Chain A
Amino acid sequence: MSANADRPPVIAPGYTPATVTDKISAVVLNKTPRWWYVGFAISFLAAQLLFITIAKLLVLTVGIWGINIPVAWGIDIVNFVWWIGIGHAGTLISAILLLLRQTWRTSINRFAEAMTLFAVAAAAQFVLFHTGRQWLAVYWLFPYPNTMGVWPQFRSPLMWDVFAVSTYATISALFWFVGLIPDLATLRDRSKHWFGKITYGMLAMGWRGSARHWHNYETASLLLAGLATPLVVSVHTVVSFDFAVGIIPGWHATIFPPYFVAGAIYSGFAMVMTLAIPLRKVFGLEDFITMRHLQNMAKIMLATGLIVAYGYGIELFMAWYSGNTFEQYMIHNRILGPYGWIWLLLLLCNVLTPQFLWLKKVRNSVLGLFFISIIVNIGMWLERFVIIVTSLHRDFLPSSWGMYTPTRWDWSFFVGTLGLFFSLMFLFIRFLPVISIFEMRGITTGHDFEEQAGEVKP
């Protein structure tokens, strides 16, 4: 264990179940800090942009966007894939790291899960409204017995996507809520105000923390984690099928599923980092979200960043190795075509920048990690732009080539979903515990208990 000795701890020393409980629940139960109002107001204002754009979109439909033929999927789908990708870290942290018994996940899983939910909510705006005629999309997307006797085409990856994303949203929401139940009971017991007592009490549903409760609870959590693990891998795999099953050069590639999943985890951890660094600062939670967490996330970002870089390399190699004219032209156009500068920027953001994470000095610098995480977020957005727009705008027939420029309504929709995401995030950090309290209690005493139990037992 000497290798672990010089690592920063998962939780600062000296905490007990009582102090952990008081410190985390104080974030929720204390008076609202002033910066919260400012932050929420800005986010909520940006969210209004979403509602305005949607209103305009419902009247004039997708013609207000820059999409055309051949580029029928513009940054609406770029944004969808970007948001869904971000939504992967939450379930990864809470499910896969739970199965791997990584105790450091405890203090970041709660808000990473919340981030997942809100990212999926933002992504859902795009799938819902890019259909153009949303009132018809109900029978395009969902199998329900309608008067026309028409059913969806289940052989289409787009249908798989509907099921994958809605299952993911449902399971993530359940996982998140189940994780909250014991903490809601804690807030019910700590809350001084009658409104808080009643609200948290209703949400806690009468949780008492009995041995039977905990046993069923732990079993259900473990099973949910086991179910969510293949699910989280399947979601971005299915999203990549949206492209890979098509025959467009630049889409039709077998590397897509693993490459998309790695990219999703990459961007998800980048977003967790972007949110965690200011969060631990403003709430003074540095004792719980320690440098150990930031370093571990940085390492995961580095690993997945390398997989993504390998994916870029394989795309280049396969285009050459396939001997296919169209594939080769696609790469040529990707690097030297009119959108070539975006590809270059993508390499800078996604391949070059994470290499700094090899340095321990960078992994120890909060500010450095914050900047790298933001650059990776931008890079992952650019990656989806390169895949979607650059592949579409010049395919087989030069006579049907075209260009794509997003309009202001494209951008307002995107900024609007950012507003929605951050509004929900602000509401979450104000009204619910950002760190799993009961799991932190276990961490403060867990090892202690095992050592002493042997002596006490008769």
Chain B
Amino acid sequence: MSVLSRLFARHVKPEFGKPGPRQEGGDLPPHLYGVIAEFGKPETLVHAVHATRKEGYQVIEAYTPYPIEELHDAIGHGPSRVPLLVLIGGIVGGLFGFFLQYWTSVVAYPLNVGGRPYNSWVSFIPITFECTILFAGIAAVLGMLVLNGLPMPYHPVFSVPRFQLASRDRYFLLILARDPRFRAGDTFRFMETLGASLVSDVED
């Protein structure tokens, strides 16, 4: 497996792609993306995530108005790949910064100032350092965006009217239709048992 596909393979899994197998129901929407449940408290959401995973669901996602560490542990997404990208960015930036100076001062445009060495590496340190930080910082931001699949102007959850409260004070749990355990009616009924204030279908 190449480095790139190892880096970006996992982010594609849970949220993106076509809906998987589902049973036909009575008045189900034609294109079902998943079922979403709304909670009033973060504790209930974390509890619901535990229960959902215990039930065997894997392709799930939770939405909160602010970061909750316990939720990340509960949902089990694994460690972030941002640090690796930042490390690569930093190494590339450091090498670029140093060799930019080395090449221009030694190869492309050597200036003999009183016989001093062309490769005066000590005075190359500040710019090497700045380039390391610059590249690592850009890698952190772009890496975060790419791993999060942003920019993505439209996403099925946006079609849920109450979802705009996910950026205020409501907490959401989504089970995607792609989940192998997903059965349209059953999953809906299961989510109603979790203490959610509202459960609704998400259309693709």
Interface residues of A (CB under 8 A from B): 16-18, 21-22, 143, 149-155, 157, 159-160, 163-164, 167, 170-171, 174-175, 177-178, 181-182, 185-186, 188-190, 201-202, 205-220, 223-224, 227-228, 230-231, 234, 238, 241, 438-439, 441-442, 445, 449, 452-453, 456-458
A interface footprint on B38-69 (CB within 8 Å = 1, 0 otherwise): 00001110110011000000000111111110
Of all chain B residues, the one with the shortest Cβ separation from A245 is: B123
Q: Which residues of A contact B71 (CB under 8 A)?
A: 211, 214
Per the bound structure, the CA–CA distance linking A157 and B122 in Å amounts to: 12
Give the interface centre of B72, B127, B147 by most chain A CB atoms within 10 Å: B127
Given contacts A205-B150, A208-B166, A228-B137, A216 and B126 within 8 Å (CB-CB): no
Chain B positions 67-94 with a Cβ under 8 Å from a chain A Cβ:
67-68, 70-72, 75, 77, 80-83, 86
* Complexed CA–CA distance, A20 and B67 (Å): 16
Judging by beta carbons under 8 Å apart, are A170 and B134 in contact?
yes
B148 interface contact, C-beta 8 A: yes
Q: Which of B47, B65, B108 has the most chain A CB atoms closer than 10 A to its own CB?
A: B65
Interface residues of B (CB under 8 A from A): 11, 14-15, 42-44, 46-47, 50-51, 61-68, 70-72, 75, 77, 80-83, 86, 97, 100-101, 104-105, 108-109, 111, 120, 123-124, 126-127, 129-131, 133-134, 136-138, 140-141, 143-145, 147-155, 157-158, 164-169
- Give the distance in Å from the alpha carbon of A50 to the alpha carbon of B108 in the complex: 39
* Across the A-B interface, the 3 shortest Cβ-Cβ residue pairs: A205-B151, A220-B144, A189-B164
Complex CA–CA separation, A216 to B44 (angstroms): 23
- Shortest C-beta distance, B91 to chain A (Å), equals 13
Q: How far is the CA of A458 from the CA of B68 in the complex (A)?
A: 18
Per a CB cutoff under 8 Å, which of B137, B143, B153 touches A170? Answer: B137
Smallest CB separation, B123 vs chain A (Å) = 4
Assess the A227–B15 pair: CB atoms within 8 A: no
Whether the Cβ atoms of A458 and B140 lie closer than 8 Å is no
Main secondary structure of the interface of A (DSSP, over half): helix
Residues of B with C-beta under 8 A to A224: 137, 140-141
Task: Determine the residue in chain A with the shortest Cβ distance to B120.
Answer: A155
A-B contact pairs, 27 of them (CB 8 A): A149-B109, A150-B109, A151-B109, A155-B105, A155-B123, A163-B127, A167-B131, A171-B134, A175-B137, A182-B167, A205-B145, A206-B149, A209-B166, A209-B167, A210-B62, A211-B62, A211-B64, A211-B75, A212-B148, A216-B81, A216-B147, A223-B140, A228-B137, A230-B133, A238-B126, A449-B43, A453-B43
State A163–B154 Cα separation when bound (angstroms).
38
B127 to A: closest C-beta gap in Å: 5
Partner of B44, one of A152, A154, A456: A456
Please tell me which one of the listed residues B14, B44, B100, B136 contacts residue A143 in the complex, with CB atoms under 8 A apart: B100
Known: A17-B65, A227-B136. 6 other contacts (CB 8 A): A167-B130, A167-B133, A206-B152, A216-B144, A223-B140, A449-B42
User: Measured between C-beta atoms, what is the minimum distance from B187 to chain A in Å?
Assistant: 19
Asked if A206 and B127 sit within 8 Å, CB to CB, the answer is no
Neighbouring A residues of B155 by C-beta, 8 Å? 206, 208
Nearest CB of A to B155, in Å? 6
* CB–CB B153/A458 < 8 A: no
Contact present for A213 and B62 (CB under 8 Å): no
Contact B63 A210 (CB under 8 A): yes
Query: Distance in Å from the Cβ of A234 to the closest Cβ of chain B?
Result: 6
Return the chain A residue nearest B151 by Cβ: A205
Bound form: Cα–Cα A177–B153 in Å: 17
Bound CA–CA A210/B15 (angstroms): 10
Asked if B77 and A212 make an inter-chain contact with CB atoms under 8 angstroms apart, the answer reads yes
- Whether B143 pairs with A457 at a CB distance below 8 angstroms is no
B63–A442 CB distance below 8 A: no
CB-CB under 8 A from A445, the residues of chain B are 42, 66
Residue with the greatest number of chain B CB neighbours at <10 A, chosen from A16, A228, A438: A438
B31, chain A: closest CB distance, angstroms: 19
Q: Give the chain A neighbours of B138 by CB distance below 8 A.
A: 170, 174
Report the bound CA distance from A439 to B141 in whole Å.
Answer: 18
Q: Which residues of B contact A157 (CB under 8 A)?
A: 126
Closest to A171 in B: B137
Complex-state Cα separation, A230 to B130, whole angstroms: 10
Q: How far is it, in angstroms, between the C-alpha of A220 and the C-alpha of B70 when the chains are bound?
A: 18
Q: Report whether B123 and A154 are in contact in the complex, using a CB–CB cutoff of 8 Å.
A: yes
Q: Which of B77, B81, B140, B150 makes the CB contact (< 8 A) with A211?
A: B77
- Which residue of A17, A170, A453 contacts B168 across the interface (Cβ within 8 Å)? A17
Residues A189 and B168 in contact, CB atoms below 8 Å apart: yes
Chain A contacts of B66 at CB under 8 A?
17, 182, 209, 214, 438-439, 441-442, 445
Chain A minimum-CB-distance residue to B54? A458
Verify B134–A167 contact, CB threshold 8 A.
yes
